Amino acid sequence: MPTLPRRSVLYLPASNARALEKARELEADALIIDLEDAVAPEAKPRAREMATEAIRAGYPGKEVALRVNAADTPWGDADLEAAYRCGPDAIVLPKVETAQEVREVALGIPLWAMIETPRGVLAAHEIAAAPGVAALVMGTSDLVRDLRARPVPGRENLLYALSRVVTCARAHGLEALDGVHLDLEDAEGFERACVQGRDLGFGGKTLIHPRQIETANRVFGVSPEEVAWARRVLEAYRAARAEGKGVAVLDGRLIENLHAAEAERLLELDRVIRERGT
């Protein structure tokens, strides 16, 4: 099955008709149409209708998720009913803290569980193991607040949480998406955060503005240098196997089956990205 790129995952306020329409032209891999934090309480019923209409109209070439309000809010049940009717590619559940919260949502649509609180971080393993969960999504802004931490450039205060969530997601074969970067004027800091997230193991970055898409796509994509290296790795490994050897040596580095598997993953990801034209 082809690797599904989720390098750039853009939040869209469901109440913003212009943003919903313009997103069809953007090069984000995925969209999260947001009924929760981005929509004022009095606007939520109309936003739900707008989200439903937008999802039904479709976003060709993009994965589309719907972030609903929590079940214990006045809007949660209606949001889930709307999701069932319009059929997004995924439902994003906010502030998940227990696996039971996930089990109570049984719509047959993949679920992306947001890990935004200390309890959620600690329960990430159980949440990732719950039926229907396809991804764990970091909610770093809420987490910083709940930790009574401070936003710091290198996110050192979040490294435990970030690493734990990635580990739990990958242990269950799930995608892991990094949290947003709120300072739109800090392009260098945003790129550093993308590099950090990629190096920690995240598959992509959630975004708050279209101007962040290009950087996320580049950092979480596959560079020409990586493509060239992956091809050389496979060539060396296959040659070694043909000679009855279990390992190869390339430029002084030991190449085993795990390196060959990663090379194949990168080349498949590169192929899918090139086919998408982004």
Residue set of the binding site: 67, 116, 142
* CA separation for the pair 78, 81 (Å, rounded): 5
Name the 3-class secondary structure at 144.
helix
Structure tokens at 22: 């313009």
Question: Annotated binding site for substrate, which residues?
Answer: 67, 116
2: Cβ contacts below 8 Å, ≥ 6 apart: 268, 271, 272
Residues forming the annotated binding site for Mg(2+)? Answer: 116, 142
Distances (CA, A) of 117 to 145, 158, 197: 9, 12, 18
Question: 196 — phi, psi (to 5°)?
Answer: -60, -45
Nearest CA among 164, 68, 74, 81 for reference residue 111: 68
Q: Taking Cα atoms as reference points, which of 64, 118, 121 lies closest to residue 87? A: 64
Residue type at 79 in one-letter notation: D
